Amino acid sequence: MTASATQTAPRKRAGNGAAPHDVADEIGLDALVGHAGYAVRRFQIWIFQDFIKTLGAVDIRPTQYSVLTLIGANPGLSQMAVAKRLGIERARLVHLLDSLEQRNYVKRVKSKVDRRSHALHLTTQGETALAKFKRLAAEHERHVEEKIGKENRAQLLRILAGFT
């Protein structure tokens, strides 16, 4: 609507700019504000970047962390079960486990009840490593609290609990 105002874009507000703002900061988003997906996407990028940075010293990415945590809490799971639970393609999990097995965090044990599947376990090294990862992940979670507030983080988790 109002397709006439083509050239008169509200680029800057009146020239009382005291702070040295970046030009891009003042561009209106119009209909984009009010879209949940856009806000969630931007937030998700921020949160993942902080996670990757906080766990950068141990070189663990969010997906790897979720796999290790799940196996640590439920030893013996099959790859299919892990993939389903985390919403990962089982094809993709293969590569993830290849990497984690190479780093000696996880081992694939041939299941005896179903010789098609592998029972997934953490190695001893994997368990001690995961303990360290969890400490770093808790630190990351504190960053989130600092960013959006403790209350808001709790509400967020409550609202999105159905997706975990």
Partner DNA sequence: GACAATTGTTGTCGTCAACAACAATCTTTC
Partner DNA sequence: GAAAGATTGTTGTTGACGACAACAATTGTC
Scan for tokens 């006439």, then name that residue.
4
Q: Look-up: residue for tokens 């509200």?
A: 10
Name the minimum Å distance from CB 132 to DNA. Answer: 19
The residue type at 62 = P
Please identify which residue in 17, 21, 32, 104 interacts with a second copy, judged by CB under 8 A.
32
The maximal CA–CA distance of the chain, rounded, in angstroms, is 74
Judged by DSSP in three states, 13 sits in coil
- Minimum distance between the CB of residue 139 and a second copy, rounded to whole angstroms? 12
* Minimum distance of DNA from residue 114's CB (angstroms): 4
118 binds DNA, rule: CB under 7 A: yes
Q: Is 45 exposed, middle or buried (0-12, 13-18, 19+ CB in 10 A)?
A: exposed
Pairing of strands 106-110, 118-122: antiparallel
Q: Does 90 bind DNA (CB under 7 A)?
A: yes
Where do contacts with a second copy occur on this chain (CB under 8 A)? 1, 3, 6-7, 9-11, 22-24, 27-48, 51, 62, 66, 69-70, 72-77, 80-81, 84-85, 87, 121-122, 127-128, 131, 134, 137, 140-141, 144, 148, 152-153, 155-157, 159-164
